[in-house]
Amino acid sequence: MYAFARSLYDEKKLSGVLDIGCGSAFKLLANFQNAPKAGAELNTDWLKQQYPNETWFAFSDSSWKAFPAQLMICADVIEHVPNPDAFVEDLLEHRESKYFVFSTPDRNLDTSPWKFGPPNNEAHYREWTFEEFEGFLSRYFRVVHHSISNHEQRTQMLVAERK
């Protein structure tokens, strides 16, 4: 997914990337070595200690919304938030982003489209089928690409533009 995001970044000649829920930031740093980049995470203490020369934001501190980036990555994060609508609306407050790359598990690849109970992963609030995820995000964005990016990890990836 990060390699795909990098090729989109290069193809569209974008400037700056912001990774929301960057985790250890390994994939961000490996794929965007020579690009202006920043990561947002719930707690940035470890990131700031490991990579003191990089830019890190606590997600709860909305200063990340001012970071100059035309590409936003949100990899395997949206399933962890209790209110995905509020989360997406928060992401859209980052006015400079033109493209958004999301990934999340595809519920169909794990269980069944008819399983409406809680996800198997207790850390997930919600998992979407392929069709549900595109339907959800198309309310906020223009979807330009949607695919299964990793069958083994049952991951779907969706690329969107700001409407």
What's the pLDDT at 108?
80
Average pLDDT over residues 4-24: 98
| Cα 25 from Cα 56, distance rounded (Å) | 10
Q: What is the pLDDT of residues 122-142, one digit of tens each?
A: 888 888 889 999 999 999 999
| Candidate from 16-25, 80-89, 148-157 with smallest mean pLDDT | 148-157
What's the pLDDT at 24?
97
| Candidate from 31-40, 107-116, 117-126 with smallest mean pLDDT | 107-116
Q: What is the pLDDT of residues 60-79, one digit of tens each?
A: 999 999 999 999 999 999 99
pLDDT of residue 112 exceeding 80, the answer is: no
Which CATH number characterizes residue 65's domain? 3.40.50.150
Domain boundaries, position 53: 2-162
Total structural domains within the chain: 1
Distance (Å) of CA 108 to CA 79, 83, 92, 139, 157: 15, 21, 28, 21, 14
pLDDT of residue 114 exceeding 90, the answer is: no
Tell me which amino acid residue 158 is.
L
What's the pLDDT at 124?
85
- Nearest Cα neighbor of 64 from 3, 9, 22 is 22
What's the pLDDT at 132?
94
What's the pLDDT at 151?
64
pLDDT of residue 84 exceeding 70, the answer is: yes
Average pLDDT over residues 38-48: 97
What's the pLDDT at 154?
82
The partner residues of 86 in beta bridges, in order of sequence, read none
Q: Are 146 and 130 in contact (CB under 8 A)?
A: yes
3-class DSSP state of 114: coil
Tell me which amino acid residue 36 is.
P
